[in-house]
Amino acid sequence: MATETRSGDGLSRPLNNLQVRKGPGWLYAVLSKPKSLRSRLAFWNALVILLTLLLKGLVVYQLVTSLLVLDLDSRLQIQASKLEAAALAASGRPLNAAFFHALVRGDPVSEFTTNSTYIKLFDTVSGHPIAFSSQLDQVLVPLKQGDFEAALHGQRVSGTWQDRDGFQVHTLTIALRDKQQRLIAVAQICQSLQVVKQVQAILVTGLLVGSLVAALLAYAVSFWLTSYELRPLRTLSSTMHNLSAQGLRTRLHPPKAVTEIEQLTGSFNAMAERLEASFALQHTFASDVSHELRTPLTAIQGQLDVLLLDRELKDEVHTDLQQVSAELRRLSRLVTNLLTTTRADAGMLPQPYAYGAQAVELDLLVVETARQARFLNQQRTLKIEELEQLHIPGDADMLKQMVLNLVDNALTYTPPSGQITLALARSSEDSHPVQEEMHARQAEWAVLSVCDTGPGIDPEDLPHIFKRHYRARHTTTSSKLGAGLGLSIARLIAEAHGGSITVESTPGKGTCFRVWLPLPPV
């Protein structure tokens, strides 16, 4: 059985064997579940209060029990002293039954006295009971031999007796003597501990229930207070969650009452300022470099095109110039993609209708793109399978950039013996795979397909291929030469024209990208 644990650096590491954690099982079970900070703080606060109240309750319980037992012992001692005084005062009287019954009669019981003591007298020789208080029906607590002998030697012996039902009696055993120090009887003074047990039960119930209620109340109050105090943290967490390269200007105003949250908010604002400055510098650098590179690349490309028109060039030189021209076109396209990406990061998305709607003939654009793509890689076969005369409103340069990115992606992944196929056809409304997800329904679409016979795309990689700089886990050497921007920019341009891009791929057989562009109503 394998489990997963978290190390100190926050990384998850698998465990081959189940590990036994130390500490209280119930406490770990409660705390191991994911909880918010406010619930954990409230729980710890309630737990500390509960433990404090239980400790206080234990002290109160022991103190009250000790006071009750001391009071009971005091009453037994007082009764014993009265018995001894009565025995001394009765010196010279006959030791008959009337005398012993007078000794055990005890003090009168009033209506307010419900916890009285009981007296039993035992013979000094045989140890048999000779008299006991009138409140007792029978003698249930016997006289222990050890207590009897200790009393005969002048000791006062205290003890506790418990029956089968758990009822307890506290006893005090003494010897009664007359003025001549002659033994008259052995007296056992008893009082039930039932009152003490009842008080203990009431204390336990009251203290436990009171502690639990106080802990629950403390949890509720602490939860509310921590929720109130942690509002700045929730605001900070929400802001950090929504933080992006376009929203780095966000700043928080820290509360003045909490030093720690104020420091954390200040650190966040400082981090956001550094990130904003870093992103701004990066965007400025990428935009400037991309813009500055386009002019010399265009000039070099023009010179190469002029050289390629010279018929006196040798075949080897002509071939080398064609390869240089193809690589230069690839570099120009990479610079254009980089500039487009930088502008998109800065919030300047492609706007094909910024200077009015222009009719773009898609069939001519496909033919021109295919002609230009043949110079990029002459080892692959590229053909146009179907071509309808279709036109849409948009930006011709952007659409050409989109198609070139898709074709270049197909050339990169297709082996030398493979084939790339271009097609342009009209499609009806119902054939669009994501028509139900669009806000407005479109009657007809111009579908531009770019298909290849390459290795295909793994199903787990398909949802991520349009992400910027995404790399599939299984890539060939040639695929690592790109920048990972082509597909993301192609989708960006398609969406700017109101369309979308879908992909179908079978591993080992090939991939087909389809660009769906809305046709104007007839």
Amino acid sitting at position 448: L
DSSP 3-state of 517: strand
The tokens of 440 are what?
Answer: 């407005």
Residue where the block lists tokens 């046709």: 519
For 170-184, give the secondary structure using H, E and C: EEEEEEEECCCCCEE
> Angle between the 259-308 and 315-345 helix axes, to the nearest 10 degrees?
150
What is the predicted pLDDT for the residue at 480?
44
Report the alpha-carbon distance of residue 474 to residue 507 in Å, rounded: 11
Pair 48, 194: CB distance under 8 Å: no
pLDDT by residue, tens only, the chain of 522 residues: 334 443 333 333 433 343 434 445 545 555 555 567 778 888 888 899 999 999 999 999 999 988 988 888 888 888 888 888 878 776 666 676 777 777 777 665 554 455 677 788 888 888 888 887 777 766 677 788 888 888 888 888 888 888 777 788 888 888 888 887 888 888 888 888 888 888 888 989 998 999 899 989 988 888 888 877 777 777 777 777 666 655 566 666 666 656 667 777 777 778 777 777 776 776 666 656 655 666 677 777 777 777 777 777 777 877 778 778 777 777 777 777 666 766 666 556 566 766 666 888 999 999 988 887 776 666 778 889 889 999 899 888 889 889 988 998 888 888 888 889 999 999 876 556 654 444 456 678 999 999 999 888 888 888 888 887 777 665 554 444 555 678 888 898 898 888 999 999 988 889 999 999 998 886
Number of residues in the chain: 522
Q: What are 449-504's pLDDT values in tens digits? A: 999 998 888 888 888 888 877 776 655 544 445 556 788 888 988 988 889 999 99
**What is each CA distance from 30 to 20, 27, 39, 43, 154, in whole angstroms?**
16, 5, 11, 10, 61
> What amino acid is encoded at 136 in this protein?
L
Q: End-to-end distance of the chain based on CA atoms, in angstroms?
A: 66
Element (H, E) at 340: helix 315-345
Strand partners, 421: 383, 451
> Quick one: which of 445, 447, 421 has its CA closest to 511?
421
CA separation for the pair 191, 118 (Å, rounded): 6
Instruction: Report d(CA 423, CA 387) in Å as an integer.
Output: 6
Looking at residue 522, what is its pLDDT?
67
Cα dihedral 434/440/441/443 (nearest 10):
-120
As a whole number of Å, the CA-based R_g of the chain is 49
The CA-atom distances, in angstroms, between 387 and each of 362, 454, 516 are 9, 23, 15
Amino acid 24: pLDDT: 52
Dist. CA 103–CA 78, nearest whole Å = 14
